[in-house]
Structure formats: structure tokens, C-alpha cells
Amino acid sequence: MENFNNISIAHDEAEMYSAGIAYIVIPKDIDRAKYIDHCYKTGTVSIVSGVNGYTNRVPIDQSTINFITFPNTVNEFGSAVSFLIDPVQKVPIIVGVYNKPDDVGELEENSFRFKRKFQNKIVDIAGSSEKSYLSLGVSSDTGGEVNVNVHSDDSSGRFNVRTAGDVNITASGNTSIEQYQKLTITTLNEDDEADFSTFEQESDTNKFSSDNHEIYTKKLSINEGEEAFLLGNKVKAFLDDLIQELSNITVTTALGQMPILNKAQVLIFKQRTESLLSKIAFIDK
């Protein structure tokens, strides 16, 4: 393992400040990525202060280490941190992280913000009790992702979202919902919960339940959509006219033009066209 303690400086105890502000640094002659990985694994960092000099393997708590920024090179400073000197071991311990002089604070009264930035990529969690909002944001030139995962071995986990108002989902790309059992969407009457409509979908079944179901569309396709629907009222009117016209056919006999013998039977078909109409589906062009 590389030596991550190669620039520690021993100080005269009488010359050491018991508290102060220092900066996160990267030791010389050490691979930056490997060193930072070591810091996260051990909960220690390297710091430099104007009075106490360089110190490696400085303990830092789990909360603070989440918000420090490591410098890109050994000639730069990372986050500003505060430290106290352990009176027994005579070594510094990091107790907080602060803005550097050139950092711009984005906090407001009665609010909080956790923000990390890498190049042009930003992850931001912010909230305000005064303005009643909680914000989770990911900003990037390309990509970006937010994941929420609830796992249980027996598939009994739950993810609940409840709001006393509207829910808005906007996507500039595709929206996909995938589930393995049953999807149920129910819309209730706010004044009467016994009045509702329900859509249920399983892997091989779709079911819609409602007292009134209306579809408004310029084009409705079933399967490949190669055949047109018949318009019930227009078909009935056409058949009625056709039956009436057929019943008016005459034939030439020795007595002259006479109606067909089965005219009465033909007219009976007009009474049956009403039964062709559906009472629940209304289709227009």
C-alpha cells in the first residue's frame, strides 16, 4: 500500500493552535484517485493550516466527509474545515466544513441545501419550511438519473406517494411503467366515494369499470385497424329504406302490376332493425 503519511509534520506542542481553520489537500507523489478512495474507507483526510502546517490521517466524521471537496492538484486547496486538537493525542480532529472565501452561499432563512458539483454536473437537495417546498434536482449536459429502490425478499415492500392536491408528471421523452401483478387506477368522486371508475390491467387482461364510458377520437383502431366500423343509426336507416323499397316491388300479371306476394313478410324485417343498435356505444365519424 502506498504511504499516505509521507508529509506529516511534527509540531512543538507549545506552538500548536488548539483550534482553527484548515484546508483539505492532496499529498504529493500519491495517486489522487487512490488517495481519495483511501480517505473514504478510513474516515481520514489531509489538511493544512497556516499555523499548524500539514497533517495527514486527520479523523473526519461520516457526516462532514460527505460535503468536503478534494482539490484537483497538490497545489490547490479543497474545502475549508474547522478542527480541534485532541488534548490527549495532540492531533487535530475535523469538526465542520465551511465555505471558502470565494464560495457563494445559497442558503436562506428557514431553509437547507445539500449540493455537490463536478464540472457541469450538479446534484442538489434543498428545502424550505417557510416556502413549503422540498426539491431534489440533478443537472447535467447529458444523462442524469434519480433512483428510488424499496427491496424485500418476499416482495412485500411499499413505495407510497400521497398529496392533498395535484400530481404532475412531465417527460420530454418516453414514460414507461412496468409491473408484474396488477395495475389498478381508481378515480373517486370527492363528494361520494361510492361513485368511482376503475381501470385494472394484468398481463393478459384489461378491465374498465364505470357507469359512463365515453371515447372521443378521430380514429379508433382495433387490432391492425384494417376494417371500418358501421354507424348503427345510419345502417338502421339504410336497412329500413332498403326493406321498404323491396316491399314496394311489383310484378306483372294477367291482372296488371301487382305487389309481391310476400310483401308483409318483407316489411316484418323493419321491426327487427331496432335490435341491431347498441344501447351503450355511440360512434361518430
Q: Would residue 191 count as lying in a domain?
A: yes
Q: Is residue 152 domain-resident?
A: no
CA distance 100 to 78: 9
Assess if residue 35 is contained within a domain.
yes
Under the banding of pLDDT at 50, 70 and 90, the label for residue 249 is confident
Q: Are residues 124 and 194 in the same domain?
A: no
Examine residue 37 and state whether it is found in any structural domain, yes or no.
yes
- Which of the residue ranges 4-18, 46-60, 149-163, 181-195 would you say has the lowest mean pLDDT? 4-18
Does residue 145 form part of some domain?
Answer: no
Q: How much is the average pLDDT of 66-75?
A: 92
Which cell goes with 271? 321491426
Mean pLDDT over each residue of the chain, to the nearest integer: 85
| Structural domain count, the chain | 4
Q: Which of 25-29, 178-182, 228-232, 270-274 has the lowest mean pLDDT?
A: 228-232
- Looking at the chain, the whole-number percentage of residues with pLDDT higher than 70 is 90
Could you tell me the residue range of the domain that residue 114 belongs to?
105-140
Q: Which of 48, 66, 98 is the last residue of a domain?
A: 98
Look at the alpha carbons of 169, 175, 179, 184 in this order and tell me if their dihedral is positive or negative: positive
Same domain for 220 and 207: no
Give the tens place of pLDDT for each residue, 167-185.
999 999 999 999 888 999 9
Provide the pLDDT confidence category of residue 259 given band limits of 50, 70 and 90.
Answer: confident
Query: How crowded is residue 21: how many other Cβ atoms within 10 Å of its Cβ?
Result: 16
CB-side exposure of 111: number of CA atoms within 13 Å?
17
The DSSP annotation for 154-166 comes to TS--------SS-
186 and 225 assigned to the same domain: no
Confidence of residue 87 (pLDDT cuts 50, 70, 90): confident
**70 with 115, same domain?**
no
Collapse the DSSP code of 108 into the 3-class scheme (helix H, G, I; strand E, B; otherwise coil) and give the result: coil
Residue 75 DSSP symbol: T
Per DSSP bridges, beta strands 192-202 and 205-209 are antiparallel
Q: How far apart are CA 135 and CA 126, in angstroms?
A: 5
Residue 226: inside a domain, yes or no? yes
User: CA 79, CA 71: separation in Å to the nearest integer?
Assistant: 8
How large is the average pLDDT for residues 245-265?
Answer: 83
Do residues 32 and 86 share a domain? yes
More confident residue, 33 or 257: 33
Q: Does 76 map to a domain?
A: yes
| pLDDT tens digits, 122-168 | 999 999 999 999 999 999 999 899 999 999 999 899 999 999 999 99
**DSSP string for residues in 42-73:** HTEEEEEETTTEEEEEEEB-HHHHTS----SS
pLDDT band at 281 (very low <50, low <70, confident <90, very high): low
Do 246 and 266 contact (CB within 8 A), yes or no? yes
The grid cell for 43 is 474516515
Inter-residue contact 137 to 124 (CB < 8 Å): yes
The whole-angstrom distance between residue 22's C-alpha and the CA centroid of its chain comes to 40
pTM here is: 0.62
Q: How far apart are CA 54 and CA 246, in angstroms?
A: 109
Q: What percent of the chain has pLDDT over 90?
A: 50
| 3-state DSSP assignment of residue 208 | strand
The predicted pLDDT at position 45 comes to: 96
Q: In what order do the strands lie in the sheet with 192-202?
A: 183-189, 192-202, 205-209
Q: What is the mean pLDDT of residues 14-30?
A: 86
Give the separation between CA 250 and CA 258, rounded to whole angstroms: 5
CATH number (domain holding residue 87): 2.40.50
The pair phi, psi for residue 280, each rounded to 5°, is -125, -15
Q: 190 and 240: one domain?
A: no
Domain assignment present for 156: no
